[in-house]
């Protein structure tokens, strides 16, 4: 079941309605709480249990899988004093990637991209997070993510994460998401190169359909990358000074992929022009063959027409060798025309 944006038409600002594909999977709320000395992970079934992690000296990561329950999202908003318009953006899977700073937290919404779908097409998942002092809230559209390595690093106290704040944890998550963008970009390049081989060997209507489909996917990719590039630039300027270099690194990777995206789109545009050019050349070659055949048969038809008039006073009609002479003359005419066409490089 899908709820589109028109559902909210006429409603006041802040009306909490989930917009997007509603799944049947149950919502899962997972909490990871850690500092240098301790680590704890658990599934919670009541949002009120999050109060146990308020005003502690640890970092609390609360991760919600599933955003199709507006009542639960509203309760989380009450628990953490989240603005109603932010909750609206969390529930809206069509929201544009952005970063917004509030007094007590920073709100980030973006798209997680991969090719995990059965059709092999680009798959975009709505993702939001709130970065506050000592806590990080993440909201995922569907169960399953690529953050298990981060969880393992927290559990095993690998790297710097256990000694850093929630902002650094947000950087790690953004870094994983942007790394997936890089893999998506490389996959696009592979598909473009394979299409290029097909176009050069044997283009057809299906090839053109594949090019147009890939152009649409690249446009969806662009809609996810370009706004996030602007958002991360804002984020790196406003974050903690100690974390600024990390967010700058993620931003640089995203800028690089944005440039690659533009190159990929130009490659596809050129490939589409090449496809049309090759088909036009083949069509012209076919028409040239038909034209040559027609040109050869025009004089032959004339000769056959002349000797098919059956006048009584045509001397060649009674000649013993007339038939063979006309056929030989027609054959020489064909050979002469072929030689002329060859010299003119028309064939």
More confident residue, 233 or 55: 233
Q: In this structure, what token pair is assigned to residue 190?
A: 């592979």
Per-residue pLDDT tens over the stretch 4-25: 555 555 565 667 787 877 777 7
Q: In this structure, what token pair is assigned to residue 72?
A: 């639960």
Percent of the chain with pLDDT strictly greater than 70: 92
CA-wise closest residue to 195 among 122, 115, 268, 257: 268
pLDDT at 151 over 60: yes
In which residue ranges of the chain is CATH 3.30.460.20 found? 2-277
More confident residue, 228 or 13: 228
Question: 175: pLDDT confidence band, cut at 50, 70 and 90?
Answer: very high
Per-residue pLDDT tens over the stretch 233-249: 888 888 888 889 999 99
Residue 306: CB partners within 8 Å, gap ≥ 6?
Answer: none
Task: Name the least confident of 127-131, 171-175, 203-207.
Answer: 203-207
Question: Looking at residues 270-281, what average pLDDT do you find?
Answer: 82
pLDDT at 1 over 60: no
pLDDT at position 10: 52
Cα–Cα distance measured from residue 49 to residue 31, given in angstroms and rounded to the nearest whole number: 10
pLDDT at position 119: 60
Cα–Cα distance measured from residue 221 to residue 104, given in angstroms and rounded to the nearest whole number: 31
Fold of 282-343: Methane Monooxygenase Hydroxylase; Chain G, domain 1 (1.20.58)
pLDDT at 261 over 80: yes
Question: 49: pLDDT confidence band, cut at 50, 70 and 90?
Answer: confident
Question: 63: pLDDT confidence band, cut at 50, 70 and 90?
Answer: very high
Question: Looking at residues 279-306, what average pLDDT do you find?
Answer: 79
pLDDT at 316 over 80: no
pLDDT at 110 over 80: yes
Strand partners, 131: 106, 136
Instruction: Domain 2-277: state its class.
Output: alpha beta
Arithmetic mean of pLDDT over the chain? 84
- Asked if residues 64 and 32 have their Cβ atoms less than 8 Å apart, the reply is no
Phi then psi for residue 281, to 5 deg, are -65, -40
pLDDT at position 118: 57
Burial environment of residue 307 by CB neighbours within 10 A (0 to 12, 13 to 18, 19 or more): middle
In which residue ranges of the chain is CATH 1.20.58.340 found? 282-343
Against a cut of 0.85, is the pTM above it? no
- Asked if residues 268 and 192 have their Cβ atoms less than 8 Å apart, the reply is yes
Q: In this structure, what token pair is assigned to residue 297?
A: 């048969």
Cα–Cα distance measured from residue 220 to residue 54, given in angstroms and rounded to the nearest whole number: 39
CA-wise closest residue to 89 among 24, 141, 132, 31: 141
More confident residue, 195 or 52: 195
pLDDT at 139 over 90: yes
Question: 3: pLDDT confidence band, cut at 50, 70 and 90?
Answer: low
pLDDT at position 343: 80
Per-residue pLDDT tens over the stretch 117-131: 556 678 888 999 999
The secondary structure element, H or E, covering residue 2 is strand 2-3
Question: 108: pLDDT confidence band, cut at 50, 70 and 90?
Answer: very high
């Amino acid at each position: 079941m899908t709820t589109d944006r028109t559902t909210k038409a006429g409603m006041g600002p802040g009306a909490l309605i989930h917009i997007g594909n509603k799944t049947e999977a149950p919502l899962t709320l997972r909490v990871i709480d850690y500092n240098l000395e301790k680590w704890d992970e658990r599934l919670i079934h009541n949002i009120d249990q999050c109060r146990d992690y308020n005003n502690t000296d640890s970092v609390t990561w609360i991760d919600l899988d599933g955003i199709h329950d507006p009542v639960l999202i509203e309760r989380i908003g009450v628990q953490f004093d989240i603005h109603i318009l932010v909750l609206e953006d969390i529930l809206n899977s069509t929201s544009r990637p952005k970063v917004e700073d509030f007094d007590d937290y920073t709100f980030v919404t973006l798209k997680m991209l991969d090719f995990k779908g059965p059709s092999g097409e680009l798959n975009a998942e709505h993702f939001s997070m709130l970065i506050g002092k000592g806590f990080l809230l993440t909201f995922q559209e569907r169960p399953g993510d690529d953050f298990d390595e981060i969880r393992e690093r927290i559990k095993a106290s690998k790297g710097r994460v256990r000694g850093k704040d929630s902002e650094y944890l947000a950087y790690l998550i953004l870094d994983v998401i942007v790394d997936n963008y890089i893999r998506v970009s490389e996959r696009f390049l592979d598909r473009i190169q394979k299409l290029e081989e097909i176009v050069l060997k044997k283009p057809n209507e299906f090839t053109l359909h594949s090019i147009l489909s890939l152009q649409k996917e690249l446009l969806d990719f662009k809609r996810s990358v370009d706004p996030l590039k602007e958002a991360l630039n804002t984020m790196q300027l406003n974050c903690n000074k100690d974390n600024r270099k990390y967010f700058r690194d993620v931003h640089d990777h995203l800028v690089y992929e944005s440039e690659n995206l533009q190159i990929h789109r130009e490659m596809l545009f050129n490939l589409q022009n090449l496809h049309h050019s090759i088909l036009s050349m083949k069509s012209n070659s076919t028409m040239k063959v038909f034209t040559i055949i027609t040109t050869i048969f025009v004089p032959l038809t004339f000769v056959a027409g002349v000797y098919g008039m059956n006048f009584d006073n045509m001397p060649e009609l009674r000649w013993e060798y007339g038939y063979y002479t006309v056929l030989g003359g027609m054959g020489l005419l064909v050979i002469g025309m072929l030689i002329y066409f060859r010299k003119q490089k028309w064939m």
